[in-house]
């Protein structure tokens, strides 16, 4: 593997970009303490709350939507699932109005609906299957990166902060390397990508970030059009694609550019937080961690249960395109539907003792990766990263435990991004 130094070296940008508190501050949001008791209290009254959940919790309207727009919030597994499954009625076209999404990333599968969404998604799907994640992604990038990171972690005699020495590094380097950029390009690329989006940045700062991202990606796409490699850019270039007229075709540069921005943003962001949450769940439930150490067949339930228990992005939004009734509550056309995945995932009608992390509970589908046509495209890659990282920690560090000196680890964040404040561990 080339240039592993960028993967492991000390660089202040890791702490800057992979800190939940910073992410919330840069997005112009406020930290929200454990929101689950409020979800439960509202859900006990009605499956759909007639209002905006963020406003209920913080007292402020959400800045990314036009002030004064009506909101309804789905709170049960059933109402959340229905809102996610029926993308015609509860539409992802809302992303076209969400600050920074389409204007900076481009029109991607996230903001497409219907046939267009299906055609574009089908082009990328084959490289994101469970088989590809546990084969191609795992062997080429995830395992080699985890080996290097573990070597560094084990060399720290007084323990390590896994939030920065592992979680911040593995997902970003995996997706950037799989995409086809070098490890050295990864940090600067992410800095520019985030710099193209922050609502608190000036338009000039955003334009500069956007132009740099475009340059790096276009340069890479042009190079791969000349000479293919075994990476995501080359696969996107080669991917069979059906155009709007139903003709067999290929993605053009603009489509590949937008796809790339989405994959690199989603791949480098969410998983670092979810890996931290999953490790925190295991480290604070030591008996279950030992069960997993003894029986790795429990890995998938352990990971899925962590996503159910505390999904890193508990809130997504849709636009009601017609009058409808959901959970017995009327939702007028034009309403913004706040789909509260976090509340749906703790619905006591579906899970006993839903606030507890329990990898041994009967496995049922959760909605931490959403549901329906927009179900997370990267879920198997995320699961492969978490699997390899957790296996390595369990294999190599028999005395792994939370470091109880100093500030305790806890989950912080807001409704669009939650993760651990730190993950200091000892293994001596």
Residues that bind ligand HEM (CB under 6 A): 92, 109-110, 121, 175, 262-263, 266-267, 270-271, 274, 307, 311-313, 316, 368-370, 374, 376-378, 381-382
Beta bridge partners of 320: 90
Nearest distance, CB of residue 380 and ligand HEM, angstroms: 9
- The least CB distance from residue 13 to ligand HEM, in Å, is 20
Query: Which tokens go with 414?
Result: 């807001």
* Closest separation in Å from C-beta 428 to ligand HEM: 30
- Nearest to ligand HEM of 47, 267 (CB atom): 267
Provide the minimum distance between the beta carbon of 396 and ligand HEM in the complex, in angstroms, as a whole number. 23
Measured CA to CA, the distance from residue 370 to residue 372 in angstroms comes to 7
292 or 311: whose CB is closer to ligand HEM? 311
Closest CA relative to residue 107, chosen from 98, 201, 373 = 98
Helix (H) or strand (E) holding 73: strand 71-74
Residue number with CB closer to ligand HEM (159 or 263): 263
Shortest distance, position 378 Cβ to ligand HEM, whole Å: 2
Nearer CB in complex with ligand HEM: 109/302: 109
Comparing CB distances to ligand HEM, the nearer of 257 and 263 is 263
Residues 6+ away with beta carbon under 8 Å from 195:
201, 205, 206, 208, 209, 212
Please, what is the Cα angle at 60 between 192 and 33, to 5 degrees? 80
CB of 377 to ligand HEM, least distance (A): 4
Residue 28 · residue 199 · CB < 8 Å = yes
In the complex with ligand HEM, the residue whose CB is nearer, 94 or 392, is 94
- When CB distances to ligand HEM are compared, the closest residue is 378
DSSP state of 32: -
Say how many C-beta atoms besides its own lie within 10 A of residue 215's C-beta: 11
Structure tokens at 124: 């990328």
Nearer to ligand HEM, 117 or 403 (CB): 117
Give the whole-angstrom CA distance, residue 387 versus residue 134: 9
Closest to 424 in 3D by CA, of 149, 144, 159, 152:
159
Distance CA 416, CA 426 (A): 30
Query: From the CB of 398, what's the least distance to ligand HEM, in Å?
Result: 27
The two structure tokens encoding residue 132 = 């590809």
**Comparison of 167 and 394: residue with beta carbon closer to ligand HEM:** 167
Give the contacts of 360 (CB within 8 A, at least 6 positions apart): 288, 291, 298, 301
| Beta-sheet pairing, 71-74 with 336-340 | parallel
Q: How far apart are CA 243 and CA 423, in angstroms?
A: 46
In the complex with ligand HEM, the residue whose CB is nearer, 81 or 274, is 274
Question: Three-class SS of residue 99?
Answer: coil
Query: What's the closest the beta carbon of residue 208 comes to ligand HEM, in angstroms?
Result: 25
**In the bound complex, what is the minimum distance in angstroms from residue 307's beta carbon to ligand HEM?**
6
């Amino acid at each position: 593997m080339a240039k592993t130094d960028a993967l492991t070296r000390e660089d202040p940008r890791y702490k800057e970009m992979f800190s939940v508190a910073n992410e919330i501050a840069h997005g112009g949001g406020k930290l929200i303490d454990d929101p689950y008791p409020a979800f439960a209290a509202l859900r006990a009254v009605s499956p759909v709350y007639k209002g905006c959940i963020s406003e209920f919790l913080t007292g402020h309207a959400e800045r990314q939507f036009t002030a004064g727009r009506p909101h309804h919030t789905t709170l049960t597994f059933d109402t959340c699932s229905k809102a996610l499954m029926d993308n015609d009625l509860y539409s992802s076209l809302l992303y076209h109005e969400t600050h920074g999404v389409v204007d900076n990333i481009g029109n991607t599968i996230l903001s497409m609906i219907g046939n267009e969404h299906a055609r574009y998604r089908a082009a990328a799907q084959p490289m994101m299957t469970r088989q590809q994640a546990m084969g191609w992604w795992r062997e080429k990038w995830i395992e080699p990166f985890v080996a290097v990171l573990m070597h560094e972690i084990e060399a720290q005699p007084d323990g390590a902060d896994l939030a920065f020495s592992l979680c911040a590094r593995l997902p970003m380097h995996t997706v950037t390397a799989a995409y086809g950029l070098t490890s050295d390009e990864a940090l600067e690329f992410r800095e520019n990508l985030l710099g193209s989006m922050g609502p608190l940045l000036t338009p000039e700062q955003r334009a500069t970030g956007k132009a740099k991202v475009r340059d790096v990606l276009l340069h890479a796409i042009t190079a791969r059009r000349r000479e293919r490699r075994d990476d995501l850019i080359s696969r996107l270039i080669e991917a069979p694609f059906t155009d709007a007229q139903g003709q067999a075709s290929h993605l053009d540069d603009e489509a590949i550019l937008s796809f790339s921005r989405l994959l690199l943003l989603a791949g480098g962001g969410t998983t670092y937080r979810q890996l931290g949450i999953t490790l925190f769940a295991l480290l604070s439930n030591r008996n279950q961690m030992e069960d997993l150490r003894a029986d790795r067949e429990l890995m998938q339930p352990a990971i899925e249960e962590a996503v159910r228990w505390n999904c890193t992005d508990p809130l997504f939004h849709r636009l009601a395109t017609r009058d409808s009734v959901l959970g017995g509550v009327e939702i007028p056309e034009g309403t913004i539907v706040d789909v509260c995945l976090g509340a749906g995932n703790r619905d006591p009608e579906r899970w006993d003792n839903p606030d507890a992390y329990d990898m041994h509970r009967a496995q049922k589908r959760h909605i931490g990766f959403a549901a329906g046509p927009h179900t997370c495209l990267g879920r198997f890659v995320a699961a492969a990263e978490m699997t390899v990282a957790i296996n390595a920690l369990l294999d190599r560090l028999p005395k792994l435990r939370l470091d109880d000196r100093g500030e305790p680890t806890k989950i912080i964040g807001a409704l669009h991004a939650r993760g651990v404040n730190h993950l200091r561990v000892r293994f001596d």
